[in-house]
Amino acid sequence: MTTDYEEQNYWNKRYETEREFDWYMDFETLYPFIRTTLNPNDKILNIGCGNSSFAFDMLQYDYKFVTNIDISDVVINKMKDKYKKYPSLEFFVQDTRKLTFSDSSFETIIDKGTLDTLICGKEGDDDVDSMMKEIYRILKPGGKFILLSHAPDERRLEFFQRDYFEWNVKHQEIQRTLPDNRPAVHYLYIASKNLN
């Protein structure tokens, strides 16, 4: 089954009415699992930021340079307005499949659901491959790509193992109980880009 998740119009329509929402988990919940990976002075890119407070929450933990992108101009305009008093939080309309950032621009890149939405689209594998190539290109050597997904390693590691990438990937399953007592399982992938 395919969706229109890769289309800007889908997200613009959704964000016209949707209130703040965090895909998979908020920063405070994820933080214990990624704390040792993050450096407060890193230039961090949060892809598919949506209307989540994730980037603002990072600022509260002293992460100073957080750039946020989303394909939806509707949500980016809302986020720019909402956080205009915080100049270190930048927001840009960008498509993760064709980013405009220079090579080696970021020390850390975080994705909580963008890859998962692209894989559901009409050109899922190709779209994810394009996204991964762009992430690899704009990540500095030795930089980290943090991916939080609903899919286990047998469905996600393949995207890190293409011949044109040199990643060192660690992954783990995160089990937790949601506020309404339902169980939730997510998968965390932390990929280090080769220094060469």
Give the pLDDT score at 1.
52
**Selecting from 3.30.1440.10, 3.30.70.2190, 2.40.128.520, 3.40.50.150, what CATH number does the domain 8-193 have?**
3.40.50.150
- Return the sign of the alpha-carbon dihedral for residues 133, 135, 139, 141: negative
Q: Tell me: the pLDDT tens digits for 57-106?
A: 999 999 989 999 999 999 999 999 999 999 999 999 999 999 999 999 99
Give the pLDDT score at 43.
97
Which of the four pLDDT bands, split at 50, 70 and 90, describes residue 22? confident
Closest CA to 51 of 91, 106, 1: 91
Which DSSP string corresponds to 158-184? Answer: GGT-STT--EEEEEEEEEEE-TTS-EE
Domain residue ranges of the chain, discontinuous segments joined by +:
8-193
Q: Tell me: the pLDDT tens digits for 30-47?
A: 999 999 999 999 999 999
Residue 27 has pLDDT above 80, yes or no: yes
The average confidence (pLDDT) of the chain is: 92
d(CA 46, CA 195): 22
Give the pLDDT score at 3.
65
Q: Tell me: the pLDDT tens digits for 126-167?
A: 999 999 999 999 999 999 999 999 998 888 999 999 888 999
d(CA 35, CA 32): 5
d(CA 156, CA 174): 15
Where are the extended beta strands (E) located within 2-58?
A: 43-47
Which of the four pLDDT bands, split at 50, 70 and 90, describes residue 7? confident
Give the pLDDT score at 122.
81
